[in-house]
Amino acid sequence: MIRPGNIGDRTRAVTLLRDSHQAAGFAGAAGFVFPFDCAYAARLYAAHLDQVDACCLVLDVAGVAQGLLMAVAYEHPHGPVRLARESVWWIDPAHRGRSAIAMLDAYEAWAAERQCAFAGMAGMGDDPDVAKLYLRRGYFAAERHFLKGL
C-alpha cells in the first residue's frame, strides 16, 4: 500500500535514507562524496512532511515502511511553469517490483494535484534499468548536471 508518510515512520525513514545513500555510492562515488548524517536525514524527512509543497510517500508492507519517495513542487526559475522534483526515491530491494509503479503513480497524481506541468525523477549513475523505467513511463531527459569539487 502507498500512503503518506508520518512522523511515526521517521526512524524507519532514516534507515531507508541511509540505505539509499549507501547504494547510490555517495560515500565513495568519484568526485561526489559526502558522509551520511542521521540527524540531517531526520530533518530532511521532517521537512518533506511539514512543507506545503512537499510530499513524502511510503510503501507500507504489513505496517512497516519499505519504500520512500520524497518530492517537492516548485516554479521553474526560467518561467512560470510548476515542476515536481523527486528528492529521494528508495525501495528496499526485497520489496521492489510492481510497488515501484504504484509509487510513481502516487507521485505523479500528487504533482498533478499541485498543478505541476512536469514531474521529474533523477537517476544516480548510469543504471540502464532506471532509465528504461522512466522512459517507459513517459519521462524524457531534460537536463544533465555537472559538479566540480572545490
Q: What is the DSSP string of 49-90?
A: HH-TTEEEEEEEETTEEEEEEEEEEEE-TTSS-EEEEEEEEE
| Range 2-136 classified under CATH 3.40.630.30 | yes
**pTM for this prediction:** 0.87
Q: Label residue 148 by pLDDT band (50, 70, 90).
A: low
Grid cell, residue 53, equals 509543497
Grouping H, G, I as helix, E, B as strand and the rest as coil, residue 4 is: strand
Give me the amino acid identity at 29. Answer: A
Grid coordinates given for 141? 531527459
Residue of 15 and 20 predicted with greater confidence: 15
Specify which of 24-38, 76-90, 122-136 reaches the highest per-range mean pLDDT. 76-90
Per-domain residue ranges of the chain: 2-136
